[in-house]
Chains A and B, each alone.
Chain A
């Protein structure tokens, strides 16, 4: 046996992790990033002569049937055409058995890097609404994302918001999407492509965490969006602990452990955000009379100013006429 230096061990770790692109149309350009479920590489598509992003999942696929299902599902996801969605180009299995998919290479900042302490709540919520719009569009096509998190949202240099990584998305009405495992089929591992433990724990709905294949639906994405909203608000809580109760309630409703207590759709969640931004009452929070008055005053400052000015003038006139 040969003694391997620390440097050689590191090189070998990198070597075994590199995607084996032999027999595919892609050549490796460089490693971009690593996430919870796999690594992303910049690759050259030799057929079309363009660079694309390739995500290689940390899992293997062991049956032709499952591979075919995966391709079919990817074809469905690839039909999503929306300015806020980065669709898949291609999906397949590497010679080493690992699953990959390619998508447009987007340059920008991940949401978690984009958000700064200076951003106001309104700015944060407008970004959040754009995420909701993209996800709601996918839901209108019966596709759920299943791995929504700040790292899967990119914000471009012109403020455009793009939801990435639709590789583990699921078509809700595709009857062939049984919960068949990607890997370790014989040992019953919990990682599956079509409905069990897919996602990132901190942003994953409880039903996904429990591996309940058939219960994940649009409301699972609502939960993940609630977690993203919570992330956006948490930055504010540090500088301003007094976040309005109604937006906290929106967040909590989206994050409800019980699916029936969550928003029934992303559209409903987004509508509450719009109401909050417009100074209207949100469906998730029942205001007291005091709070309603406070909100009304806050929304109608100019009118309140005019009324107060008018009343003050009348009082002054009364006082003057009484003399």
Chain B
């Protein structure tokens, strides 16, 4: 497993629920608008970078430039204010904007002053590039799915980071440690761990393992839903994304 820098700054200033950064990008208040863009960039930069690398076959350096330039352009031209939730999901809208941007960039064939001199945000491209080594490159037909998949992975990564921070700040690191070992570990040995074995390993009772894991799952679910609500514009979109992210088919 790899660690990378947590980008986008502290996000505690957003209300926990019923906040939508997608709506906030249209705010007249510059501070609110800027924070909303930061939030969206934080939620999407990694899938965008990987998509540029995989679908458009760009080199690491070009993909970095293009990712920065895309978000700079988005902020400069306020692309996201034209998003209509009745027509598509935000995620799809963003990908279409990205494709158009990249097509135009290819036509221009010029990288000079891409995105002006604006440095949008400090993005940890090295870790994102490293992650590409883990994933198999999709076929042409599934490249859009690849973007969605990477977005899900990134959203879960954000939620895991928040979960860790939550249990550390509330003095219950064992909850996260159990969650990490039981739900995050990828090796064969951890996959077969029983609650009894976890109880022995952590020196707690089996009922405590049950309760701690239950509590961690509940908190994780809550965080994921909060993150989703923040990057969706409507209740309908939120629910659709929740179903997709949580692996639930829409009714």
- Interface, chain A (partner B; CB < 8 A): 1-18, 20-22, 34, 36-37, 39, 58, 95-96, 184, 186-189, 200
Contact = CB atoms under 8 A, between A and B. Distances in A.
A1 B6 contact: yes
Contacts of B6: 1
B100 interface: no
B65 interface: no
Contact of B161 (A1, A7, A39): A1
Contacts of A12: 156, 160, 183-184, 220
A95 B215 CA distance: 9
Contacts of B131: 3
B81 interface: no
Nearest first, the 6 A-B pairs at minimum CB distance are A187-B235, A13-B247, A22-B214, A36-B251, A16-B221, A1-B157
A189 B234 CA distance: 10
B121 to A, nearest CB: 15
Contacts of A34: 248-249
Chain B at the A interface: mostly helix, strand, loop or mixed?
A: helix
Interface in B89-143: 127, 130-131, 134-135
B178 to A, nearest CB: 12
Contacts of B234: 187
B206 to A, nearest CB: 11
Contacts of A10: 247
A16 B224 contact: yes
Contacts of B211: 22
Contacts of A21: 214
B1 interface: yes
B218 to A, nearest CB: 5
B1 A3 contact: yes
Interface residues on B, range: 35 or more
Contacts of A187: 234-235
A96 B247 contact: no
Q: Give the residue among B220, B222, B236, B247 with the most A Cβ atoms within 10 A.
A: B247
Contacts of A11: 183-184
A5 B186 contact: yes
A34 B249 CA distance: 9
B246 interface: yes
A16 B1 contact: no
B235 A1 contact: no
Contacts of B11: none
Contacts of A36: 249, 251
Nearest to A10: B247
Contact of A3 (B2, B152, B220, B221): B2
A58 B239 CA distance: 10
A58 B3 contact: no
B120 to A, nearest CB: 19
A207 B221 CA distance: 34
Nearest to A17: B246
B248 A58 contact: yes
B172 interface: no
A267 B234 CA distance: 44
Interface string B193-231: 000000000000000001100110110111010000000
Nearest to A14: B247
Nearest to A13: B247
A3 B126 CA distance: 12
Contacts of B249: 34, 36
B214 A20 contact: yes
